[in-house]
Amino acid sequence: MKKILIAPSILSADFANMAEEIKKIELGGADLVHCDVMDGVFVPNITFGIKMVADIRKRTALPLDVHLMIVHPENYVEKFAKAGADYITVHYEACKDNLKEVLQKIKDCNVKCGAVINPDTPVEKIKDEIALCDMVLIMSVFPGFGGQKFIPEVLEKASQIRKIANENGKKVLIEIDGGVNRQTVEQVWNSDIDIAVAGSAVFGAQSYKDEIEFLQGNK
């Protein structure tokens, strides 16, 4: 019985062999494909943009989970929706004054929407937006680079989010991103998390399938 869903983060994939990497995670039993879009402004790293998402869409039927770590995400949500995103998540920290409007804009594109909070952002900051969300993403590292150490204290946010969602009669997927691997995943299984993003744990493994199944709780 699967305990959680796994969304491999292509940030850790071999970009020169992306089609093959997507095929391998698909055959390995991945549940979603996590696409980390970084602009070098909101976070210090630069990754990829709309074309990469569109090209991945051509290669897989798996849901594309597009995580925007960018300033002014409202200017790009329509383009990522057209590129084939199934979920678009935006940071509270990037749109403190207009988060509700940005989430609604994503919904208006017929795409599932989500809010993201950094490790030092309390759930209280997005309390009023949770009822709008299809997904809430909790960062368990500070965003910008892969391979960072998992911050276990953020797991208690999952139960807070679940409580608020239940009070609103809302089903919401709760996702965690950062530092999830064989050493940390048991803590994730024992929390209210539904989906874990895994980057270097999957793409650094000899067998993507074995790693994905282990992290899902299938082994």
Round to whole Å and give the CA distance between 120 and 142: 9
**Neighbour tally for 157: CB within 10 Å:** 24
**DSSP characters for 19-57?**
HHHHHHHHHTT-S-EEEEEEBSSSSS-B---HHHHHHHH
Specify the long-range contacts of residues 10-14, CB closer than 8 Å, at least 24 apart: 10/34, 10/35, 10/36, 10/56, 11/36, 11/47, 11/146, 11/199, 12/146, 12/147, 12/199, 12/200, 12/202, 12/203, 12/204, 13/203, 14/203
Give the active site residue among 39, 65, 177, 194: 177
Give the active site residue among 36, 39, 65, 134: 36
Whether residue 36 lies in the annotated active site: yes
Tokens in use for 95?
């749109």
Whether residue 134 lies in the annotated active site: no
Round to whole Å and give the CA distance between 201 and 22: 15
Round to whole Å and give the CA distance between 134 and 205: 31
35 and 53 Cβ atoms separated by less than 8 Å: yes
Round to whole Å and give the CA distance between 146 and 181: 12
Q: List the catalytic residues.
A: 36, 177
